[in-house]
Structure 1
């Protein structure tokens, strides 16, 4: 999950560099119910911690390089699981050149900012499990693909065929709840998706889209992008009182001019993410043979492109991981001192934790010491 323009570090980072999680700082207070699933990262640097500017920093967030020609972690993991990446946003695609996801070759993977379009595609279109007549056709296609697979030894072709087979198996899989959720619970007008006041409902709908898609087996990897770097979004919601009679500030403006307002903006974002974590925690893991909740078996990485707006520093980035208590070898519920390591090591280790192979620009970074046993 991406949020823009860094954080007010004095109200984000705990005072400790390592150990168990005690009292959470102001911006992280909404995460208290999920403290045992939380890993707070300290002294992790974006790349080498140097540089200036939001754009190049955003490009390297998930790719490990300011030139994302080798693609990004989310795309790599989706390819590993043989499923398409579900990339959704809240005012993320308003301008080009602001994505955090990249395909091999370096082209942007653009977020879909319409929660209604995402819902329709997932639960009312081709993303839906097949009906009886469609199932018969899919089974015939499955049989043909299996025949082709048995006849070829070319690895690239076998990988493609296996990917198609897995998608067909997802569509044929008997699932519950794949009709989506009750849209009437959200007062949403798609023509107003670019209005700042609509952002809270879009955020909730996109999170519902992600959780239901994963519960149904329609996605294994998702990227949720809240706005974009140097964001102009004004978060003047009912939780945010005005300080000193100031008018509501844009995200980027607050990051430079008001630590108090910026800290509250980040607290609001974590309040929304707590809803996402609650949805995952309330649902049993749908994959056969896995116990626990969806949160126990998921790993959510929360990132931003700079550490603090006023200084544009990229050192001691305000990142955290949520979930994963049911993942073998992974130990949440703590603060991890990264001791100045580059964030590309975090990307490397996340690929390992989730069963993928580190690749692209972060493949040579090596593992982040202390995140998982090496």
Structure 2
């Protein structure tokens, strides 16, 4: 763990002790709004994670004969058949070996891939992040589909799946940029909202504090006031390039809602995701490719994905799984090309978490599943193959990357995976 992370955790513990001595329980503290403000905002800024983003990318039904056979590269990053399209971006990636899907493989209950049924949590990781780091964003967490047709969403609270996936790229774009949200300057507005949460929470708990604790809290208010003036001064600048008047689909790709346009639909949704992140509309995106039943086709391949999986022809199944890796590679390339308003490229501040619900889709197994991370900048030990116990540890790793592990319920008893984050 880095020195900055250790410092942030120490400060959080010190603040909780301070609040405890004042007679305030953690539930009262969280109910006051400080869970989204004081405990998250200041620690996130201290740990330099306040502008990190995450994309959860669901690819259904595993890979032929499980990851070690057709997907996971060797330690020197020699790629397998189904990961071969990642060749030019593999140094941005962390390939995970021996990943066990908690709850096993098989059709149905796809919500488990984002942790809906983990003990002690209130929902999938994207929703949990939406309630914490997303609480000060215009869109808490964004869900984009590619030929899901509104079926089998992976985001859920237990068995209660969400219903806000947007399969149509143009509809998604219009909801994001069609006038309901003022996109200029979004970053300053998000910061101001965080300050408003802090102020409201502080006022609510003042009456519960003694003189010493009240003085300590007023010192914090002074720091907030200074930050407010800094933000006000910075907010006179222009919005990030392309955010004040964004255009949908300048390349004129087909957005027709049919399987044969899968490649174009994925490209358009990728642009929506990148633009929403870049313009600070959200910090959390979930992209779902199809459904767990794999009853859909893709551009340029015969039949449908389900038929390929159970055809008895490994090359046929592999052709589909390789195609999905081509889409993932496209997203990584676009993140590596796109300028980050804060400096560098979007890949430097965005972690892509590739998830699935099976190891081998034909056998419906859950051991040795093809999971992969990409991006995340210098915080991530990229260009490696790393062993991981189970997929819940990867969800905790994403929470740690976003600066809120320990503020939201942990998904794995063992905590985040080792050797992934610096």
Change (3 A) 1:130 1:349: closer
Aligned mate of 1:304, from 348, 356, 359: 356
Q: Can you list the C-alpha shifts for 1:139-160, whole angstroms capped at 9, x where unaligned?
A: 99999878755532289xxxxx
Structure having the larger proportion of residues in helix: 2
The residue number in structure 2 matching 1:232 is 295
Cα distance change on mapping 1:188 and 1:67 into 2, 3 Å:
farther
Aligned to 1:55: 108
Residue 386 of structure 2: which of 336, 340, 349 is its match?
336
Q: Is the contact between residue 2 and residue 226 of structure 1 (CA under 8 Å) also seen in structure 2?
A: yes
Provide the rounded CA distance (Å) in 1 between the counterparts of 2:120 and 2:308.
Answer: 29
Change (3 A) 1:261 1:120: same
Match in the other structure for 1:35: 90
Which residue matches 1:368? 417
User: For residues 333 and 340 of structure 2, what CA distance do their matches in structure 1 show?
Assistant: 13
Given that residues 393 and 411 in structure 2 are in contact (C-alpha distance below 8 angstroms), is that contact kept between their aligned partners in structure 1?
yes
Structure 1 residues not aligned, in runs of 5+:
132-136, 156-161, 241-247
What is the TM-score with the length of structure 1 in the denominator?
0.78
CA contact (8 A) 2:107 2:293 kept: yes
Task: State which of 244, 262, 275 in structure 2 corresponds to 1:212.
Answer: 275
- Residues 208 and 152 of structure 1: is their aligned pair in 2 closer, same or farther, counting only changes over 3 Å? same
Cα RMSD over matched residues? 3.4
Aligned-pair CA distance for 1:255: 1.4
Q: How does 1:138-287 map to 2 (within 5 A)?
A: 148=200, 151-153=203-205, 174-175=238-239, 176-178=241-243, 179-189=245-255, 192-193=256-257, 195-235=258-298, 237-238=299-300, 240=301, 248-257=302-311, 258-287=313-342
Match of 2:180 in 1: 126
Tell me whether 1:3 sits opposite 2:55 in the alignment.
Answer: no
Are the equivalent residues in 2 in contact too, given 1:88–1:225 (CA < 8 A)? Answer: yes
The answer to whether the 8 A contact 1:31-1:274 is kept is: yes
In 1, Cα distance between equivalents of 2:195 and 2:394: 41
Task: Give me the TM-score of the superposition, normalised by structure 2.
Answer: 0.69
Superposition deviation, residue 208 in structure 1: 0.4
1:13 matched to 2:13: no
- Measure how far apart 1:66 and its partner are: 7.0
Residue of structure 1 equivalent to 2:26: none
5+ residue gaps in structure 2? 1-56, 208-223
Q: Using the TM superposition, give the Cα deviation of residue 283 of structure 1 relative to its aligned residue in structure 2, in angstroms.
A: 2.2
Q: Decide whether the 8 Å contact of 1:70 with 1:105 is kept in 2.
A: no
* Shift of residue 89, structure 1, vs aligned partner: 0.3
The reply on whether 1:92 has 2:141 as its aligned counterpart is: no
Distance 1:227 1:119, change over 3 A: same
CA contact (8 A) 2:115 2:124 kept: yes
SS at match of 2:143: strand
When Rg is computed on C-alpha atoms for both structures, the one with the higher figure is 2
Q: C-alpha distance in 1, partners of 2:362/2:191?
A: 58
Distance 2:154 2:124 in 1: 8
Q: Measured at CA, do residues 103 and 66 of structure 1 come closer, stay the same or move farther in structure 2, by a change above 3 Å?
A: closer
The number of equivalent residue pairs is 331
